[in-house]
Amino acid sequence: MNRKCDDMTEKELNRVRVLKKKVEREAERVAGTRRAITDLVPFLDGMPHAQNQSSRVEKLTAQIVDGERRLDELKDEMAAEAAALTAEISRAPLNRQEHDVIMLRYVTCLNFRDIEFRLNYSDANVFYHHRNGTKKLFGKIPFDSD
């Protein structure tokens, strides 16, 4: 009997990749704030300076704490989304090659070049398995149910 896979959308398939980019941006923001504090350290020698640098450090420290909290939340959300996406992909009727390519692309968030190296596939093979796997996931190719 032929039926279609649950209609997964491209947006749903890319949600872990989107969260990974948010995590990377937030991590860079926190790192930048840490660098800003490091730049202020010479002014914290107890000597009077033109500006009140300690209040600036306090503000930056609060920004770091807040950024790290957001970073932890994003990482938790990304882990939960990765687990849910892994379960959805595992239920799909993909062959091993399609499954591996889809998992590496959308759960592990590798680019196509890295997938080629990881699986020792040609670029044509990676794109072939990606195209067929996503068609099955998006419900554009009917498949035999068990």
Q: Residue 143: phi, psi to the nearest 5?
A: -140, 160
Q: Which residues pair with 143 in a beta bridge?
A: 3
109 close to 20: Cβ distance less than 8 angstroms:
yes
57-96 exposure pattern, b = at least 16 Cβ within 10 A, e = fewer: beebeebbeebeeebeebbeebeebbeebeebbeebbbee
Cα–Cα distance, 5 to 141 (Å, whole number): 8
Which tens digit of pLDDT belongs to each residue from 57-95? Answer: 788 888 888 888 999 999 999 899 899 889 888 888 899
Where in the chain are the domains?
A: 2-144
pLDDT tier at 3 (50, 70, 90 boundaries)? Answer: very low
